[in-house]
Amino acid sequence: MNTLEKIKNNYNENGFISPIQILSDEKAKLHRKEIENIEKKIGSVHNINKIHTILTSTYEIATNKNILDIVKTILGNNILLYNATYLIKEVNDPTYVSWHQDLTYWGFSHDDVVSVWLALSSTNKKSGGMRMIPRSHKNGKISHKITFDTNNMLLQGQTVENVNENNSVFCPLLPGEASFHHGWTLHSSLPNESLDRRMGLNLHYLATHVKQTKHDLDSAVCVSGQDNFKNFSQDIPAKIDLDPKAMKKQKKLEEHLRSIAGRE
């Protein structure tokens, strides 16, 4: 059994795999520096959806062979990149992510979805790294409660209650390492109590047969194989950074995505 087969088997059994080396430490730190230089121009990049349509290096990482080889092993050769967004917890940041499943409010017709979290800074318990509940993806969709805590990073504070945290596994990551998890895997993260920003790139991939069931405005871009289904309009990857036309379009794409995530 080769390494990719072992990764797939582990993913299918536990609902996640971590850590996986994607970038060298040096490349991860260079990308972080580049992103922080971008922030000097436009402010924080935290939670800007479809950011690969305005930043070239983001799309370059999203199409990294090390990532795509694993996603293809899990979902098959024909893959869409649905979203890319940086998630950042500032120094001594009280924000957290409650126990939830990614797919709860996304409106997809199938659960052939892989979420990737690539660390750009050391992600550990003190900095508010992710925790996963092994094998929780096998339970399918679980009821979520809408909450109203302003420190919860989730759009509507969607929370699965009464999770037995004793069953959780913490997923520490060094810069350049990533975790991969299933759309039904229960996961959460705590506040950043460290002296460094907790920075990561969140990527979502779909098999091409997946449809959006909430409306017909959703978009994605094929990053492997062929998209013979054409269920999504096509995102245009950035050709230059911060192109004004691309930035205007990205804001519209973000409106569409948030309108999906904000209702069941």
CATH number at residue 116: 2.60.120.620
Task: Residue 204: name the closest of 109, 74, 116 by CA.
Answer: 116
Q: Which pLDDT belongs to residue 215? A: 87
The angle at the Cα of 177, spanning 174 to 183, to the nearest 5 degrees, equals: 120
Q: Name the domain count of the chain.
A: 1
C-alpha distances (whole Å) from 107 to each of 80, 88, 111, 249 are: 16, 25, 10, 22
Residue listed under structure tokens 């995102």: 235
Average pLDDT (175-188) is 97
Q: Tens of pLDDT along 13-39?
A: 999 999 999 999 999 999 999 999 999
Q: Which pLDDT belongs to residue 262? A: 54
Q: Which pLDDT belongs to residue 264? A: 41
Average pLDDT (154-181) is 91
The angle at the Cα of 257, spanning 228 to 101, to the nearest 5 degrees, equals: 90
Task: Residue 188: name the closest of 254, 124, 261, 133 by CA.
Answer: 133
Contact 253, 50 (CB under 8 A): yes
Q: Over 50: is that where the pLDDT of 263 sits?
A: no
Phi and psi for 192 in degrees, rounded to 5?
-90, 110
Side-by-side strand order, sheet with 169-170: 97-100, 187-189, 130-132, 169-170
- Secondary structure class of 95 (helix, strand, coil): coil
Q: Over 90: is that where the pLDDT of 223 sits?
A: yes
| Torsion sign (Cα): 162, 180, 241, 218 | negative
Q: Tens of pLDDT along 89-144?
A: 999 889 888 899 999 889 999 999 999 999 999 999 999 999 999 999 999 999 88
Average pLDDT (167-186) is 97
Q: Tens of pLDDT along 61-77?
A: 999 999 999 999 999 99
Q: Which pLDDT belongs to residue 149? A: 82
pTM of the model: 0.95
Domain, as residue range, for 146: 3-261
What is the average pLDDT score of the chain? 94
| Token pair listed for 212 | 């959006």
Q: Over 90: is that where the pLDDT of 259 sits?
A: no
